[in-house]
Structure 1
Amino acid sequence: MTDDHDGVPELLAAWALGALPPGGGRAVPTHLAGCETCSAEAVRLRETVRLLDGGDPASAPSGNGATGIDGVLGPALRARPALPRVADHAVPYAAAVAGLGALLRELGGRRSWSTPVVHDWDVRDTVGHLIAADQELARHLGLEVRVPPPRGREATPWEADWETRTADVIAYERTREPSETVAEWAAQSSALLATAEARDPELASRAATLMGTRLPVADHFLTRAFEAWIHADDIGRALGLAVPPPPDGHLRRLVRLAVRVLGAALGPSAPPVLFAVTVGGEDARWVLGSEDDPVRGELAVDAVDFCRLVGGRRAPDEVPRRSTGDEAAVRAVLERAASLAWL
């Protein structure tokens, strides 16, 4: 770690959750002691984690004017009960939850909560949608789904079941105060991060079919991270608040998962395209489509643009790209990526 923040921002969310990888336990606090910018962000994230864990906001430290780890956090953090550690696969979700929690705390009165965000949802509806989306993983991991009580799950396609559930949750949350909706989302997120599967990579390696997709549970945690960030970005844009993308290390994982799903969706008979995604100034490359034919085209996009395309926040024609070769083959990749969106 250096004074130019090398690697620290990516570790702050993990530090706030007590989930630093081996070797980071000393380096991050050392950097925070001499860096006002990172120290202030660390306070925001740790305060959000306190709230997710049922802490009292009145006892949380202030993030303004931070000068060092002891002066910033003080005895309040040292006295706080330890949070369960999460494994590496769950850290991006923990970071996305902390980021969205911090954003929601910036909201003011009812006018902010009623701001249109996406589809026909306002801010509270968007949080309600996240409650419904997280419930699929929560149910699979044995957590109780409390509000509203789920209907009987008929043998219907997952899309219809999902649409019914998210409509039920949003309608229910509209009968409550926004603070109650946020508290419900925070409690469920905290419960997910406290599951054995969030802490044990071996348990998380077991496959589960959720939202029509069969993936290891570890990848379903990544999917939850992806959606939490996308909707935080939706809310931030609606309110005119800047929401940064996930740290590069987390973004690489989201991209790898999305490319794997995209490759499966294109299938082995699609015209092969060399696909490059740029994260942190470096390209990761894959050949999508047929393994038996020569590459027909090349396509390169930025990671955030690609994630927004897969998340349904960009149309294929709106994505900045660099491409050569067969335009039809390139466009097939972009259109198939856009078709994956269900957020």
Structure 2
Amino acid sequence: MTNDHDGVRELLAAWAVGALPAADQRTVPPHLTACESCAAEADRLRDTVRLLDGEATPDAAPGAVNGSAGALLALALRARRPRAAEIAHHAAPYAAAVAGLQALVPELEGRWGTPVVHDWDAHATVAHLVAADEHLALRLGVGAVLPASHIPEGTSAGDAWARRTFDVIAHEHGRAPEETVATWAAQAAALLATPEAADPELAARAVTVMGLRLPVADHFVVRAFEAWIHTDDIGRALGLAVPPPPDEHLWSLVRLAVRILGLALHDAPPVRFGVTGPTDTGWILGTDTDPVHAELTLDPVDFCLLVGGRYAPDEVPRTITGDETAARTVLETAASLAWL
């Protein structure tokens, strides 16, 4: 429990997302009535968190689904959409993915130690997202929310990233899961409150994050990709089906992944790569000096799971005609892009 000004200020993010520790629930509200600066900061954080509170969709009426945990979770994930007027198109997938994980969090009560992915439990998976989002947050001027890591100068981007996520997970395992969720949610809200989240012109600026140089707008899509992948990881670990992103957001993930994949395959045998959908979409991946060797078609969700490292190249459902070797090169390269 704390009652000093600085101590209360450190708790405002948790207050804004409704995750205030029980010991401080009687301290923070009275302080806000007496301290003008803390009250202003609390209002700013609460307004930012509201970016993640969407209106219920028309199909989210009571009784629209059965009462099973999986059905109720799917309903919550569909219903929590960001208010489009307050963020730009490029940030909407990230806002929706954050809201989706927030809808899943209540299912984790008493189950935070559930193994999820890699060697992480559910608590560590959320801690990993704190570390992952931190890179873009710092680039956009959001203050650090966790102690810095000591990473020697000259360390490669991959090794530095591995060290940072290890340190953050170790730090968060010393805190309650609810505190980790509050830290993650507050940082996500701060990212969505940056000028770049609302202004496509500002988001056109290219920055390097985790060794990848992209426009800020694309980095928001990468953040959406990772948040959704790990929400799906947690859902699978709990035995709950997590619905894929809404179509418009899913296709933002697909288009970015195809662009990066195309760069990686610039001198490979050309393959016509298609993704099924309402209107099937295709690209030629590979060198432009040879005729097309093969055609490869994937479902959009399966393609994203492949790029996210959740399918092995020989396991992902696909349709291939023509040169199997050329098509396999595309699948293997897509899987090699995974850093999640």
> TM-score with structure 1 length normalisation?
0.77
1:37 CA displacement: 3.8
1:266 CA displacement: 1.1
Contact kept? 2:273, 2:285, Cα under 8 Å = yes
> What is the rounded CA distance, in whole Å, between the counterparts of 1:122 and 1:42 in structure 2?
22
* Partner in structure 2 of residue 102 of structure 1: 103
Contact kept? 1:272, 1:295, Cα under 8 Å = yes
Match of 2:107, SS state, is coil
Give the fraction of aligned pairs with identical amino acids, expressed as a percent. Answer: 61
1:17 CA displacement: 3.4
* Partner in structure 1 of residue 288 of structure 2: 291
> What is the rounded CA distance, in whole Å, between the counterparts of 1:189 and 1:41 in structure 2?
21
Is the counterpart of residue 322 in structure 1 residue 319 in structure 2? yes
Cα 1:339–1:46, aligned 2, differ >3 Å: closer, same or farther? closer
**Which amino acid in 2 is paired with 1:173?**
E
Contact kept? 1:87, 1:198, Cα under 8 Å = yes
Q: Aligned match of 1:305 in 277, 302, 305?
A: 302
> What is the rounded CA distance, in whole Å, between the counterparts of 2:210 and 2:331 in structure 1?
22
Cα 1:159–1:49, aligned 2, differ >3 Å: closer, same or farther? same
Cα 1:36–1:206, aligned 2, differ >3 Å: closer, same or farther? farther
Q: Aligned match of 1:276 in 262, 270, 274?
A: 274
> What is the rounded CA distance, in whole Å, between the counterparts of 1:158 and 1:143 in structure 2?
21
**Which amino acid in 2 is paired with 1:258?**
A
**Which amino acid in 2 is paired with 1:95?**
A
Structure 1 residues 154-198: Cα deviation after superposition (integer angstroms, max 9, x where no partner): 222100110010000000000000101111100100100011110
Alignment of 1:13-162 (within 5 A): 17=51, 31=58, 37=64, 44=76, 85-109=86-110, 112-151=111-150, 154-162=153-161
> What is the rounded CA distance, in whole Å, between the counterparts of 2:178 and 2:53 in structure 1?
27
Structure 1 residues 198-225: Cα deviation after superposition (integer angstroms, max 9, x where no partner): 0111100100111221110000000000
Q: Aligned match of 1:335 in 328, 332, 335?
A: 332
Cα 1:33–1:238, aligned 2, differ >3 Å: closer, same or farther? closer
Cα 1:311–1:113, aligned 2, differ >3 Å: closer, same or farther? same
**Which amino acid in 2 is paired with 1:100?**
L
1:153 CA displacement: 6.1
> What is the rounded CA distance, in whole Å, between the counterparts of 2:237 and 2:52 in structure 1?
32
Contact kept? 2:84, 2:92, Cα under 8 Å = no
* Partner in structure 2 of residue 199 of structure 1: 198
**Which amino acid in 2 is paired with 1:277?**
V
Contact kept? 1:132, 1:169, Cα under 8 Å = yes
> What is the rounded CA distance, in whole Å, between the counterparts of 1:336 and 1:265 in structure 2?
7
Cα 1:211–1:329, aligned 2, differ >3 Å: closer, same or farther? same
Gaps of 5+ in 2: 1-49, 66-71
Bigger shift: residues 281-290 or 237-246:
281-290
1:42 CA displacement: 11
Gaps of 5+ in 1: 1-15, 21-27, 51-81
Match of 2:86, SS state, is coil
**Which amino acid in 2 is paired with 1:319?**
V
Contact kept? 1:277, 1:300, Cα under 8 Å = yes
Contact kept? 2:265, 2:287, Cα under 8 Å = no
Match of 2:314, SS state, is helix
* Partner in structure 2 of residue 187 of structure 1: 186
Cα 1:84–1:31, aligned 2, differ >3 Å: closer, same or farther? closer
Structure 1 residues 304-324: Cα deviation after superposition (integer angstroms, max 9, x where no partner): 111111000000010111101
Cα 1:49–1:182, aligned 2, differ >3 Å: closer, same or farther? farther
1:292 CA displacement: 1.6
> What is the rounded CA distance, in whole Å, between the counterparts of 2:279 and 2:177 in structure 1?
41
Contact kept? 2:294, 2:326, Cα under 8 Å = yes
Cα 1:34–1:118, aligned 2, differ >3 Å: closer, same or farther? closer
Root-mean-square deviation (Å): 2.8
